[in-house]
């Protein structure tokens, strides 16, 4: 009887290993493509009046700011500063969202990494490891 239980447990462990290994292979095979796509990712945002154009990269980094010559007609430095800042914030937020979506397509559904990308919550990233550690502490 114990031998049958061991075989069933081994089959279950093997099935789980095969599942995890399959997820790893899928993730690894797409890594080069993902890196290329992230390097090419650029998001462009314009101010509501079209006078300020901002381009941000995959990490939300500022790539460029373009000002239309008409922006200087108002001669209101504070308004211009606010317009640039607002447009930069929109561009960086859009770039981060685009990166999350792109990377999320390469991660297994429900993975801690995907949860971390979407929320920035380290608890999501370490959730499975925390559960294993807590489980190990209870049985010790």
One domain for residues 63 and 34: yes
One domain for residues 58 and 32: yes
Q: What is the pLDDT of residues 77-110, one digit of tens each?
A: 999 999 999 999 999 999 999 998 888 887 767 7
CATH number at residue 67: 3.30.1310.10
What is the pLDDT at residue 95?
Answer: 95
0.75 surpassed by pTM: no
Task: Calculate ∠ Cα 124-19-123, nearest 5°.
Answer: 5
One domain for residues 119 and 104: no
What is the pLDDT at residue 140?
Answer: 44
Domain count, the chain: 2
One domain for residues 94 and 116: no
Q: What is the pLDDT of residues 3-27, one digit of tens each?
A: 666 888 888 888 888 888 887 787 7
Domain that holds residue 48: 2-108
Structure tokens at 29: 């095979």
One domain for residues 103 and 113: no
One domain for residues 68 and 104: yes
One domain for residues 121 and 94: no
One domain for residues 22 and 87: yes
Residue (of 58, 51, 57, 61) closest to 84 by Cα position: 51
One domain for residues 76 and 115: no
| DSSP-H helix ranges across 30-121 | 31-40, 77-104, 112-119
Pairing of strands 52-57, 62-67: antiparallel
Q: What is the pLDDT of residues 24-70, one digit of tens each?
A: 787 777 788 888 899 999 999 999 999 999 999 998 999 999 999 99
- Residue 19 to residue 14: CA distance in whole angstroms: 9
């Amino acid at each position: 009887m114990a031998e049958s239980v061991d075989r069933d447990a081994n089959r279950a462990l093997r099935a789980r290993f095969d599942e995890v290994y399959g997820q790893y292979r899928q993730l690894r095979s797409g890594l080069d493509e993902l890196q290329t796509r992230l390097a090419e990712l650029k998001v462009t945002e314009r101010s509501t009046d079209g006078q300020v154009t901002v381009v941000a990269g995959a990490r939300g980094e500022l790539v460029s700011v373009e000002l239309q010559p008409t922006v200087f007609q108002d001669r209101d430095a504070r308004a211009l500063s606010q317009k640039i800042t607002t447009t930069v914030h929109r561009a960086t937020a859009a770039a981060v969202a685009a990166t999350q979506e792109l990377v999320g397509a390469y991660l297994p559904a429900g993975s801690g990494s995907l949860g971390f990308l979407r929320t920035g919550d380290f608890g999501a990233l370490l959730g499975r490891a925390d559960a294993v550690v807590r489980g190990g502490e209870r049985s010790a």
